[in-house]
Structure 1
Amino acid sequence: MNTRPVVYPNHVNIINFIRGVEPRLPVDLLEPVREQLSLVQKHGLRATWLLQYDALIDSKFTELLMSEADASQEIGVWFEVVQPMAEKAGIPWRGRYPWDWHAHVGFSVGYTPQERERLADVLMEEFRAMFGHYPQSVGSWFMDAHLLAYLSDRYRIAASCNCKDQWGTDGYTLWGGYYNQAYYPSRHNGFMPAQTGDNQIPVPVFRMLGSDPIYQYDAQDSGNGQSVITLEPVYSGYEGGGGIPDWVRWFFDVNFRPSQVSFGYTQVGQENSFGWKLIKDGLIDQVELLAKKQAEGALTVETLAETGRWFRRQYPLTPASSICALSDWRGEGHQSIWYYNRYYRVNLLKKDGNLRIRDIHLFDERYEERYLRDVCDNKNCRYDTLPVVDGARWSDEHTLSGMYPVVFDADGKAVPAVVLSMEADESVPEELSVMLSLEGGKSLEIRFSERCISISGESSDWGLRMAWGNTADQPDIVLESEEIRYVFNGHPYRLGLEGALPTTAVRQKDGLFQERMQDGDPANRIDFRPRGSELRLLC
């Protein structure tokens, strides 16, 4: 086995982005910036400050940064569209306020590709006029591929960042992407990792906010999309968040492991829209902890552009990455492992003795985003990749969607395997192995590699069950002899089945399958077992 003795680095970006207008809350927008700057400089930490256009043209923000920020602080831009930016680009303003957070007004997707370029030119030239150079970092909750490529090709930006995975929060859906760390996006889809150098935008996009690897995925709709369980210091709910010191320490331990598939990463910081009072306690705690861990050599705090340049030197293509949450800060014993590379992502969740492959999404650089050529025409927007298993979106009141390890009883009926423990091995470059100890003294090994998920056991009396409910917006799913075929949003793709013998396939909707349902079985399911002692899912 080609193991490696090296310890891979852990990188942290402190990114505070700055809005000049906040119509939703009566807060002092300058105070958070002043206090955040004082805090990071007190501890000698590097940070990135991303100015929205309305803050860029407001002297109280720029004068503070130009007079108080030392050379270790990076100043870049936050790409949301505001009224003076649109009007300077010759575009009529359609917003309810000078800054409107609705997707078709406040973000690039609400404008034609040519309008996006004009908006970018206005922002970049205004920045150069103020600071004497173009910014190296450009962030946004989400940014279309056309704009990202334009910023890369014309302005040679070093790094970008976007929002975590979420469903519908504030009207923004980003679902199925790189769960953390960074990726090179496809020139056809700003959310999709590219597979080849020819089709990638050579700007790494870092995922922001620091999602809880156990609980965020299944977070319930709060009435404004999914609730938020992230490192943002303003959040401190029951399931966790950056305002809870115990959760923060657990989150750092989970993300900054001594040895990793590639590297550990998170973004610390908060937008100024919340005001200083709501964020100060959590942010002060996090920054003090970062300073301590950097002094111990556990991580490096640097600017976004610095991390972007390091990434580009280190990786010509998007590297594999992982998060292994083998402890549960709530003490409930849940475990979650995320692995992702430029071809797919996968998540394992161990809960109450059951193991579920909770999520598999495939990446295909040819899958065009909805806004590459078209304009988003309402307050909701959506970025996604290609679902194979979606435990959050395909579950209903009868079925918890996922792929489950099963064992076959004497009558050949599949029953869920009882998993006693789950351990991870990250010692092989670009790969991750997971060992499952099962009830009865048996075990399974799951190995994630570039285009393959292989599952092997000591015998052939086990298998997998893929189950899903009847929910909206599912792909077409068809079982063939050696693959499962899908069509999602008009795009065809497949999951190969090597060494797998399908034994049962049932679906209530049109299409599948072979056998009738039995009482208690999921509405839609495929059972398959290995022909020998190993089966492989080819991504």
Structure 2
Amino acid sequence: MNKISIFRPVLVLMCVLQVFNSIAQPAKPAKATEPKIVNIVNFIRDIEPREADVTKDVLYETVVNQVKLMKQYHLGGTFLLQYDALIDPRYQELLKTLPKNEFEIGAWWELPQPLIEKAGIKWRGKYAWDWHSDVGFSVGYTPAEREKIIDVYFADFKKIFGYYPKSVASWVIDAHSLNYMYDKYKIVASANCKDQVGTDGFTLWGGYWNQAYYPSRFNAYMPAQHAEKQLPVPVFRMLGSDPIRQYADGRSVTTLEPVYSHAGGNAQWIDWFLQTFANDTALGFNYTQAGQENSFTWSGMKKGLEMQFPIIAKLKEQGKVRVETMAKSGEWFKKTYKVTPATTFTVSKDLGESDKKTIWYNSRFYRLNLLWENGTMRIADIHLFNETVPDKYLTDVTTINQSFFYTLPVVDGFQWGKRGAPAGMRLMMKDGDKEVPVQGGNPVFTNVDKNTAHVSWPVGSGSYEIDIKENSLIITAKNIAAANWYLDLNVAEAAKTAFSAVSDNTAKYEFDGHAYKLATTSGTIEKGENGGLYRIKPKGQGIVLKLADQ
């Protein structure tokens, strides 16, 4: 028998064994093509004057149980200390036991009485912790006072833990404070509240919708357009907002917070949100924050966290999400991005029987939301960003119990609409003498390059191909009559908007004393018909909107 005849059956046997081994061995978990980052952030207060039953012991035991549950599922995270909790020996002892490679201790930037008085400033609050903007937050103090407060906190933090905090977060933080914290103490990450209108006295509306951004040196809420004008500290958006309900069906809070029985405390919603977050297409990276402030107590959050953490742990095990501290995310962001990146959060399948689908796109120039419902599409939101527009509290203080942070609205489906009739820029067509919404199938979301997201929306025998770029939106009709479709911006009757007029093929706006415009490089902007503010008609087969105020 020659060598070839001897080796042939051996080779066949080796191939069979190789196939068998590949079947028998468990497949390695498929990693997401884009990072999906989860920060578990629990912020700690030692004072809760609003509820007599929420004692110091109740607050402390809440944190003990949070730590226990995180360890049970091998999930690290970040604990942020309000000053009253920072100086409580119980929290110091508890948090010092946490493994530094898994957990982070940082600062929660609400300002209670002991911190203010140690900084030599008179306390104006009703309680030792007062949650109103003019007392309990940096925007209620002069820039010089803010620096004193920061110095006291950071000095005491270092005395206790041996280092300065790397992460500082709050519902709202002004630009002067963030600049000072970075310039003097080199913080690496911050976070602010999700977008909301009026909740607890805080309005943040029109900003970088999710993920994270580099803020302007003049405005902590406004993404910068240029590296030389930005503060190199990424600001993450908190609380895990529902990308459909939080902004589309009224004023209810719909987030990953475990205390909300219809959202972060609801098994069906939790599973939908986390699976969508982990599995749907994202440009750049996606991000969400889990966890809860201890003021809500363990009894309030236990059920929700016990449903969330096993799912997060499973997704981590499968390689679909990263669970890490805020500081680690901040360091990764700074290493990865020189300026604010383009990102998306997409939903290809909504909760339950709903047919809604959406994409939120953010860049350093603008944010955009496209929403599909009942086979129709509308642009539900466009806000432009301008790094030269200062926040209201850069040098001034708020003297009321509210604070306001805005960007530049072009389309505001929430504030310019009304319940049951949201505003928006709808894709319309002429059907004989009638004007009707374009009807189509299910949109398909893909990524083109690091700055461009693509949506293909089938309509009849054709489609609308939508390219969302860093500073423009391109809508191209394929096999659809060019003169038959257009965009109409409609708002509620008597709605107060920023729109002023149409002239020279531009839609002109003014908001908070700043003039800006929406223009096209392809297409025509005309005065509105049938109650619309204005209409955008295609040139040939397409519309191209310029989406930058810089």
Q: Please, what TM-score do these two structures have when normalized by structure 1?
A: 0.91
- Aligned pair 1:426/2:456, yes or no? no
Q: Of 459, 480, 486, which aligns to 2:503?
A: 480
Whichever residue aligns with residue 392 of structure 1, its letter is F
Q: Which amino acid aligns with 1:327?
A: K
Whole-Å Cα distance in 1 between the matches of residues 525 and 81 of structure 2? 55
Q: Which runs of 5+ in 2 are unaligned?
A: 1-30
RMSD between aligned residues? 1.8
Of 35-44 and 152-161, the range deviating more from structure 2: 35-44
Q: Cα distance, 1:167 vs. partner? A: 0.8
Where do 1:499-514 residues align within 5 Å?
Answer: 499-505=522-528
Q: Which residue of 2 aligns with 1:139?
A: 169
2:152 equivalent to 1:122: yes
For 1:149 and 1:445, the matched residues in 2 are separated by 42
- In percent, how many aligned pairs have the same letter? 45
Q: Is the 8 A contact 2:502 2:527 kept in 1?
A: no
For the residues of structure 1 that align with 2:356 and 2:280, how far apart are their CA atoms? 21
Separation (CA, whole Å) in 2 of partners of 1:364 and 1:268:
30
1:494 paired residue number = 517
Task: Please say if 1:373 is aligned against 2:368.
Answer: no
Distance in 2 between the 1:69 and 1:7 partners? 29
Question: Residue 345 of structure 2 corresponds to which residue in structure 1?
Answer: 323
Aligned match of 2:140: 110
Indicate the SS of the match to 2:338. Answer: coil
Give aligned pairs, total: 510
Paired residues for 1:11-410 under 5 Å: 11-25=37-51, 26-27=53-54, 28-67=58-97, 71-220=101-250, 226-237=251-262, 241-257=263-279, 259-396=281-418, 400-410=422-432
Distance in 2 separating the partners of 1:442 and 1:81: 57
Q: CA offset at residue 354 of structure 1?
A: 2.0
What amino acid is aligned across from residue 150 of structure 2 in structure 1? A
TM-superposed CA distance for 1:396, in Å, is 4.2
Q: 1:411-467 CA deviation, whole Å, 9 max, x = no partner?
A: 5x64321233222112422111112222x4332112100110011103312111111
SS of the counterpart of 1:166? coil
Deviation, structure 1 residue 310: 0.4
Q: Is the 8 A contact 2:473 2:546 kept in 1?
A: yes
Most deviating of 429-438 and 163-172:
429-438
Letter aligned with residue 117 of structure 1:
E
Q: CA deviation at 1:478?
A: 1.5
The aligned residue for residue 464 of structure 2 is 444
Conserved? CA contact 1:11–1:263, under 8 Å: yes
- Distance in 1, matches of 2:396 and 2:309, equals 41
Is the contact between residue 32 and residue 320 of structure 2 (CA under 8 Å) also seen in structure 1?
no
Corresponding residue for residue 11 of structure 2? none
Q: Is the 8 A contact 1:482 1:498 kept in 2?
A: no
| Deviation, structure 1 residue 404 | 0.7
1:509 aligns with none
Q: For 1:444 and 1:378, how far apart are their aligned partners in 2?
A: 48
User: Which range is displaced more, 250-259 or 348-357?
Assistant: 250-259
**Inter-CA distance 99–93: structure 2 relative to 1 (3 Å threshold):** same
Could you tell me how far 1:169 is from its partner in structure 2?
A: 0.6
Residue 248 of structure 2 aligns to a residue in which SS?
coil
Quick check: 2:505–2:526 contact (8 Å CA) kept in 1? no
CA apart distance, 1:471:
4.7
- Determine the C-alpha separation between the residues in 2 that align with 1:65 and 1:204: 25
Task: Report the alpha carbon displacement of residue 326 of structure 1 after superposing the two structures with TM.
Answer: 1.5
Q: Distance in 1 between matches of 2:297 and 2:282?
A: 36
Q: Distance in 1 between matches of 2:351 and 2:422?
A: 24
Q: How many angstroms does 1:320 deviate by? A: 0.6
Q: Give the Cα separation in 2 of the matches to 1:294 and 1:173.
A: 34
Cα distance, 1:504 vs. partner? 4.2
Determine the structure 2 residue equivalent to 1:534. Answer: 542
Q: Could you list the runs of 5+ residues in structure 1 that have no partner in the other structure?
A: 221-225, 507-520
In 2: Cα distance, 1:331 partner to 1:124 partner: 50
**1:432 aligned partner, one-letter code:** A
Which of 24-33 and 131-140 deviates more? 24-33
Match among 447, 470, 485 for residue 462 of structure 1: 485
What is the Cα deviation at residue 80 of structure 1? 0.5
Give the secondary-structure state (helix, strand or coil) at the position aligned to 1:307: helix
Instruction: Judge conservation of contact 1:483–1:497 (CA < 8 Å) in 2.
Output: yes
Deviates more, 1:350-359 or 1:182-191: 350-359
Give distance in 2, aligned partners of 1:250 and 1:399.
26
- Partner Cα distance (1:128, 1:532) in 2: 64
Q: Deviations over 1:241-271 (max 9, x none)?
A: 1111221121112222365310111111000
For normalisation by structure 2, the TM-score amounts to: 0.90
